[in-house]
Structure 1
Amino acid sequence: MAKKSTIQTEKVNTHIVEWLKNYAANAKVNGFVIGISGGVDSAVTSTLCAQTGLNVLCVEMPIHQAESQVSRGREHIEQLKNRFPNVSDVKTDLTETFESFKNAVPTTDDAAKLSLALANTRARIRMTSLYYLAGIHGLLVAGTGNKVEDFGVGFYTKYGDGGVDLSPIADLMKSDVYALGEFLEIPQSILTAAPTDGLFGDNRTDEDQLGASYDELEWAMLAAESGKSASDFEGREKSVFEIYKRLNTNNKHKMDPIPVCLIPKTLK
């Protein structure tokens, strides 16, 4: 099912960097702020931003984070700072903030709903922190979502990691992001790590949550865009296609504009 990336990495790299530079110039800002997770998407995005020559602030925001994620993020930040003098970093440990929030709000006996609500809360606390730092430094919040996540299965938190000013890699499939990551020479520890959002405080991967790998979901997204339906497939392909369609449908509220109740002119 996997689709091997066919992007022209060097030209795509140049195109995105120029797009970032032009957007920042038009917005009259000093650069970009990016949350670093230890994953390939944030590593590629921050490296693209660094190539603009503008200020790039890499932010670590651990909340009961697994050590493996922290160490990968640190490795990338140190590599980036060594390569680009315009890159700086800050660590904002939000664990205490997260715990204070938990203690301030009502809870529920529904363990599944509570777990998901708290996972999304982690993402929204981080978004708030990024916008605070963006505000005091005159920066734009750069999103790290790829095309499969942002427009395929909606695998992000609304007003969390989905709350950004611009999305440099949102027109790239996950396989494209990996290809760009290889070209940009981001750490191998990141390129080989199983993707995870790190929002649940355990070892679950993105594939555990989604029920399919990114290679499979990328295949399904392309199949859906070509007009295929579940009846065109059998076995695992059919299962993956159904997973994709279910997630795509259920998460449309994230991808579509916020619905506005329009008042008829006769009532105004």
Structure 2
Amino acid sequence: MTTDSTLFQAEKINNHIVKWLLDYANNAKVKGFVVGISGGIDSALTSTLCAQTGLPTLCVEMPIHQAESHVNRANEHIDQLKNRFPNVLNERVDLTPSFETFKNSVPNSENEVAYNLSLANTRARLRMTTLYYLAGIHGFLVTGTGNKVEDFGVGFYTKYGDGGVDLSPIADLLKSEVRLLAKHVHVPESILTAKPTDGLFGDDRSDEDQIGANYDELEWAMAAYENGKTENDFSDRELVVFKIYKRLNFLNQHKMNPIPVCKIPQELK
């Protein structure tokens, strides 16, 4: 399942999001937006939409042993955006030393998979801390870059990492819709055609490598699951993808649902 480009109202959606961003910022009485730039399509689209508001938009690159291809795409996008919008600013914060200090300060683990995943999530949380620091000194909002499949389908983000934001302008767009809108707002071709990646492992592994399915497949599975389909309805590759989606959706509910609060009965107070 992918969005039909002939039916996608890119300009109207573009205008709707930009107005929503502007209204939110004005109501919150903040001065602008800060966006972490990864070299991927989601952050490129989000920062472009923020820039269109006319409010100061701070694009932040935060490398941690980053793959060169990611860095190059991030810089290409930032340079292009600064040329197009006079309200775009940028910062580069090299978090590699901070990450190494953290890694050398905490205990190691014999569970290599859990150890590497925990360190990957640490990268995202260091970046979140950096974005909130910059937002604080400038009076800006930390703007989320997650799409609908990531944020509400498979939970493919780090809790209190890239999931730690003030507002999420593209979280109601499927990945196929993100691609269409990114093309509409003239995101660089190198980013439009790059394989999606979270960039948390310091190499070029893609989201598909980690998840086991691409975003078109996940969109299909998300729709099927929401329409009440079960594993009995599918076979072959469809069954594999459906199982992947269903497993991740279940395992990551702790990210997608509000934090549970233990309510104390009134008679115990």
Alignment check: 8 A CA contact 1:34 1:46 kept: yes
Matched, 1:191 2:159: no
Give the CA RMSD over aligned residues. Answer: 0.8
Deviation >2 Å, runs of 4+? 1-7
The residue that corresponds to 2:215 in the other structure is 214
Identity %: 70
Structure 1: gaps (5+ residues): none
The residue that corresponds to 2:29 in the other structure is 28
Q: How many residues end up aligned between the 2 structures?
A: 268
- Normalization by structure 2: what TM-score? 0.98
CA distance 1:110–1:211, shift in 2 (3 Å):
same
Matched, 1:115 2:108: no
Residue type matched to 2:146 in 1? G
The residue that corresponds to 2:174 in the other structure is 173
The residue that corresponds to 2:261 in the other structure is 260
Quote the offset at 1:4 in angstroms. Answer: 3.5
The residue that corresponds to 1:232 in the other structure is 233
Instruction: Trace 1:114-193 onto structure 2 (pairs within 5 A).
Output: 114-193=115-194
Residue type matched to 1:141 in 2? V
Matched, 1:84 2:57: no
The residue that corresponds to 2:252 in the other structure is 251
| SS of equivalent residue, structure 1 residue 12 | helix
| Distance (whole Å) between structure 1 residues aligned to residue 203 and residue 40 of structure 2 | 16
| Distance (whole Å) between structure 2 residues aligned to residue 177 and residue 230 of structure 1 | 28
| Distance (whole Å) between structure 2 residues aligned to residue 4 and residue 227 of structure 1 | 23
| Distance (whole Å) between structure 1 residues aligned to residue 38 and residue 105 of structure 2 | 27
| Distance (whole Å) between structure 2 residues aligned to residue 247 and residue 102 of structure 1 | 27
Alignment check: 8 A CA contact 1:20 1:168 kept: yes
The residue that corresponds to 1:75 in the other structure is 76
| Distance (whole Å) between structure 1 residues aligned to residue 235 and residue 2 of structure 2 | 17
- Normalization by structure 1: what TM-score? 0.99
Q: Deviations over 1:128-152 (max 9, x none)?
A: 0000000000000000000000000
| Distance (whole Å) between structure 2 residues aligned to residue 47 and residue 67 of structure 1 | 22
